Amino acid sequence: MAKFPYLRSSPISAKFKQIIAAADLCITANLNTPALILLYSAIDAASWLCAESPDGPVQKYFVAWVEKYILAAGQIECSALDLWAARCGIVHTLSASSRLSREGKARKIFYVNRGGNRDILDQLETIRNAKSPQEARARPETASDDDMSGNVVLEVDVLMNAFQEGVASMMSEAKSDASLSARIKERESKVLATISDGQAKALLDWGQTMLAIAGAPERQLLDLDYMTDCSWCGDAAARVLVRAIDSTGTSIAHSEICDECGDVLGGNGVIRDLRKRRWIS
């Protein structure tokens, strides 16, 4: 008889490890824009896991997550709003420009590739923003979060490492924060899972069996002389066998069902007041 093929998604921490590994491969291959898209999308996902209101403004919980888990470590010298604007630019237009940067509310972020010389880019930024030759010759200084005149220079690897450490910090915090742990556990069940052809076929077989039982002209209800997991929910103990009977009296499908799932099928409490060879229709 068909059993529901329980398909468990990988833990969300494993998903993040996959994204980090993919971003690292992209960086190694000098595919830095795809790496940035992966990283900013992953920050989106991590912040959604933590958000108390996941249907609220994405910017709000993205910024909150970045401030708590990325900027607090001190590896990146920019504001959370700068990173949000950079995320919008990269993900939406493959550029450093976003509405916030055009409005002067956030700085653009330019990236140093793996193995690149940050000092060169820093000095170019100093010359670009200089108001005099003397200022252009000065060593670059990190702009404050309130200074919108300069751009941010950020190593792609630094962003990747900061995200990785941020996820580790979030997961560590969840061990002692019941509310955060519950949010992560509830939402990770919605994360996309990959199944094999064999698993998909098992799921199809189960679905077709349930449809046959639900749509049969008659269904025969029999006591089980053993206990097993319910074929529908997989959690409760099945107490009865429900057999689908076609119009000719031939059995076309059967499955072990618990009380609650039997009621869903249309048992209307029959299973709860079980007698041998009771019928439901």
Q: Please indicate, yes or no, whether residues 60 and 183 belong to a single structural domain of this protein.
A: yes
Q: Please indicate, yes or no, whether residues 166 and 267 belong to a single structural domain of this protein.
A: no
Indicate whether 2 belongs to any domain.
no
State the Cα–Cα distance between residues 166 and 273, nearest whole angstrom.
54
Read off the amino acid at residue 165: E
- Please, which residues have CB within 8 angstroms of residue 217's CB and are 6 or more apart in sequence? 245, 246, 247, 281
Model pLDDT, residue 268: 58
Indicate whether 67 belongs to any domain.
yes
Q: Please indicate, yes or no, whether residues 95 and 155 belong to a single structural domain of this protein.
A: yes
Q: Which of 138, 168, 188 is the last residue of a domain?
A: 188
The encoded tokens of residue 81 equal: 């709003």
Q: Please indicate, yes or no, whether residues 135 and 34 belong to a single structural domain of this protein.
A: yes
Beta bridge partners of residue 238, listed in sequence order:
228
How many of the other CB atoms lie within 10 Å of CB of 209? 20
State the Cα–Cα distance between residues 260 and 267, nearest whole angstrom.
9
How far is Cα of residue 41 from the mean position of the Cα atoms in its chain? 10
- Helix ranges (H only) for 32-117 are 32-50, 58-69, 80-93, 99-102
Indicate whether 46 belongs to any domain.
yes
The encoded tokens of residue 280 equal: 């439901």
Model pLDDT, residue 69: 96
| Residue 237, CA atoms < 13 Å, CB-side half-sphere | 6
Q: Please indicate, yes or no, whether residues 242 and 268 belong to a single structural domain of this protein.
A: yes
Q: Which of 188, 207, 222 is the last residue of a domain?
A: 188
Q: What is the dihedral of CA 187, 190, 193, 198, to 10 degrees?
A: 130
How many domains in the chain? Answer: 2
Q: Please indicate, yes or no, whether residues 51 and 184 belong to a single structural domain of this protein.
A: yes
Beta bridge partners of residue 109, listed in sequence order:
152
- Could you tell me the sign of the dihedral formed by the alpha carbons of 63, 69, 71, 75, in that order? negative
State the Cα–Cα distance between residues 270 and 268, nearest whole angstrom.
6
State the Cα–Cα distance between residues 11 and 14, nearest whole angstrom.
5
State how far the alpha carbon of 124 is from the alpha carbons of 35, 120, 148, in Å.
24, 6, 17
Q: Please indicate, yes or no, whether residues 106 and 243 belong to a single structural domain of this protein.
A: no
Phi first, then psi: what are they for 223, rounded to 5°? -65, 145
Per-residue pLDDT of the chain (281 residues; tens, 9 = 90+): 556 666 666 688 889 999 999 999 999 999 999 999 999 999 999 999 989 887 888 999 999 999 999 998 888 989 999 999 999 999 999 999 999 999 999 999 999 888 777 677 676 666 666 566 666 566 555 444 444 457 888 999 999 999 999 999 999 999 999 999 999 988 887 887 778 888 888 888 888 888 888 888 888 878 787 888 888 777 778 878 888 889 898 999 888 888 777 777 665 555 555 444 444 44
Indicate whether 92 belongs to any domain.
yes
pTM flag (> 0.95): no
Q: Which of 188, 206, 232 is the last residue of a domain?
A: 188
Q: Please indicate, yes or no, whether residues 92 and 61 belong to a single structural domain of this protein.
A: yes
Question: How is residue 265 annotated by DSSP?
Answer: I
Q: Please indicate, yes or no, whether residues 56 and 159 belong to a single structural domain of this protein.
A: yes
Query: Could you tell me the residue range of the domain that residue 43 belongs to?
Result: 12-188
